[in-house]
Amino acid sequence: MSAIGLKSKLKTAVAAVFVVVEIVLYALFLAEDFGGADVGDNVWLKYATVVLAFAFALTSFAFVKKADKVGLYDAILLSLALALTLTSDWFLLVQGDFFEIALITFICAQLCHFARIGRTKLWLVISIVLRLVLPTVIIAVLASLGELSGLYALVAIYFVQLVMNFAENVALAIVAKDRVERIKAIILSLGFLLFIGCDICVGCMNLYGEAGELIWLFYTPSQVLIALSWRRNYESTTD
């Protein structure tokens, strides 16, 4: 077996172990959330899934080929995004406080994902304009209704970035000519869709006291998919 083939098999094996461990952790905390089972510290089980996603993203650096600037760039942005997400979850899940800081780091994470999307120059300009205009409009509406706060302003900025990342990856999955780029976009589309589902549940919990138990049903799978989105994972050994 060639060195390239061996490295490819190792990369697949690491990904398989990652997914299996995530499934086990996911099953454990869901058993407590929905079945009333006593499986340990529920908070740390959930946080462990995010830590593991970040750790898996870091393994991508071991598989970056020499002089592969594209793969290295994507690995750096993915790892940084998940590190920022890990920071947000430390405040939201573990500490249960500092929500503004958590939202700022979530926004920075989404901007890292924004930078991972391959676009034409026109597409990039349109994306930036929408990412600036839409939260501005939402903030203006909230202000006119007398409902604006610093927290709500950050939520508006964050949610627009998340939805834009979802929409742009869906578009890229449709128009991408490169097979690897298309696969990456499909995986991120699904990850961000689950992320949006999670945030809708967070909103329902805060506004109506409902759907709180569904948050991590969506959230952990979203982080697993995002962690799996490094573009070099989907190249053949001959690429």
Percent of the chain with pLDDT over 90: 81
In a domain, residue 239? The reply is no
pLDDT surpassing 90 at residue 117: yes
In a domain, residue 116? The reply is yes
In a domain, residue 51? The reply is yes
Percent of the chain with pLDDT over 70: 96
- Which residue carries 């995986």 as its tokens? 187
pLDDT of residue 36: 85
In a domain, residue 228? The reply is yes
Task: Give the pLDDT confidence of 36-53 residue by residue, as tens digits.
Answer: 888 888 999 999 999 999
Note down the domain range covering 62.
3-234
Residue 231 near residue 70 (C-beta atoms within 8 A): yes
3-state secondary structure of 85: helix
Query: DSSP string of 50-113?
Result: HHHHHHHHHGGGGGPPTT-HHHHHHHHHHHHHHHHHHHHHIIIIII---HHHHHHHHHHHHHHH
Q: What is the distance between the terminal CA atoms of the chain, rounded to a whole angstrom?
A: 17
In a domain, residue 73? The reply is yes
In a domain, residue 31? The reply is yes
Task: Give the pLDDT confidence of 151-186 residue by residue, as tens digits.
Answer: 999 999 999 999 999 999 999 999 999 999 999 999
Q: How many domains does the chain have?
A: 1
The predicted model gives 110-119 an average pLDDT of 96
pLDDT of residue 4: 63
